[in-house]
Amino acid sequence: GAVVSQHPSWVICKSGTSVKIECRSLDFQATTMFWYRQFPKQSLMLMATSNEGSKATYEQGVEKDKFLINHASLTLSTLTVTSAHPEDSSFYICSARDDTSGTDTQYFGPGTRLTVL
Amino acid sequence: GQQLNQSPQSMFIQEGEDVSMNCTSSSIFNTWLWYKQDPGEGPVLLIALYKAGELTSNGRLTAQFGITRKDSFLNISASIPSDVGIYFCAGSNTGGFKTIFGAGTRLFVKA
């Protein structure tokens, strides 16, 4: 149980293009999902909290117009990196909180490696 | 803001040795979580702790929720090469507060 998938697992794009990353909770419903960014040899950096049916909450320093988040259903959140630039290259990981667990435990997806040329 | 201090930053051990790592905080948490991350993968939940003083095992892994609710440790017994990876602790509070992650402990196991 508590499986989270991400798609794609990796993507290479040209500078200036937009990239959409999907995060799905496969066997549970998740009103709340989270998007993290991780640089090599560093810890997870929370970018935003995605709430189903409402606007995402962004962490300080994260541009909401640059990183668009849509949480349209209880099992799907998407992160769109708009007008990507090489400095956006990173490992993006989502996590989801099981609505029925009654706990704050987060289950992570396998991550998406974005490379912007 | 809340911070977790995770130590050690890295460990180089011989296969078969026991390992111990810990996290401390100046703030109280209601939940302590331990994750393992393999290269190029997302973190995988190892153990979740919900009560102060709780001691929980998962195979060769044992973790404890400190009685003060400000710390937690993770022990790995009889380490094997596949234990290699980065171990993260995380603390959270109920009510929708953010989960705070430690900086990670990199474990290297020599066969």
Whole-number Å distance between alpha carbons of A7 and B21:
33
Q: Would you call B94 and A104 a contact, using CB atoms and an 8 Å cutoff?
A: yes
Q: Is the pLDDT of residue B96 over 80?
A: no
> A27 is written with which tokens?
């066997």
Q: What is the pLDDT of residues B41-76, one digit of tens each?
A: 999 999 999 999 999 999 999 999 999 999 999 999
Asked if the C-beta of B87 comes within 8 angstroms of chain A's C-beta atoms, the answer is: no
The full 3-state SS of chain A, as one line of letters, equals: CCCEEEECCEEEECCCCCEEEEEEECCCCCCEEEEEEECCCCCCEEEEEEECCCCCEECCCCCCCCEEEEEEECCEEEEEECCCCHHHCEEEEEEEECCCCCCCCEEECCCEEEEEC
C-alpha gyration radius of chain B: 13
B56 touches chain A (CB under 8 A): no
Is residue B107 predicted with pLDDT exceeding 90? yes
Of B45, B50, B104, nearest to A43 by CB-CB distance is B104
Q: Is B45 on the interface with A (CB under 8 A)?
A: yes
- B95 pLDDT band, cuts 50/70/90, is low
Given a cut of 70, whether residue B97 has pLDDT beyond it is no
Burial class (CB in 10 A: 0-12, 13-18, 19+), A65: exposed
For chain A, residues with pLDDT lower than 50 are none
Residue of B2, B21, B37, B107 for testing the chain A interface, max A β-carbons within 10 Å: B37
Residue type for position A70: N
Q: How many helices (H) and strands (E) does chain B have?
A: 0, 11
Of B30, B43, B98, the CB nearest to A46: B98
Has residue B11 got a pLDDT over 90? yes
Q: Does A54 touch chain B (CB under 8 A)?
A: no
A44 touching B (Cβ < 8 Å): yes
Tokens coding A79: 């992160």
| Cβ atoms < 10 Å from Cβ of A12 | 12
Of A2, A43, A109, the CB nearest to B42: A109
Name the residue among B90, B5, B50 with its Cα closest to residue A108: B90
The whole-angstrom separation of Cα A46 and Cα A35 is 6
Contact criterion met (CB < 8 Å) for B88 and A44:
yes
- The answer to whether B91 and B31 have CB atoms below 8 angstroms apart is yes
Chain A with chain B: Cβ pairs closer than 8 A: 53
Task: Provide the 10 A C-beta neighbour count for residue B38.
Answer: 13
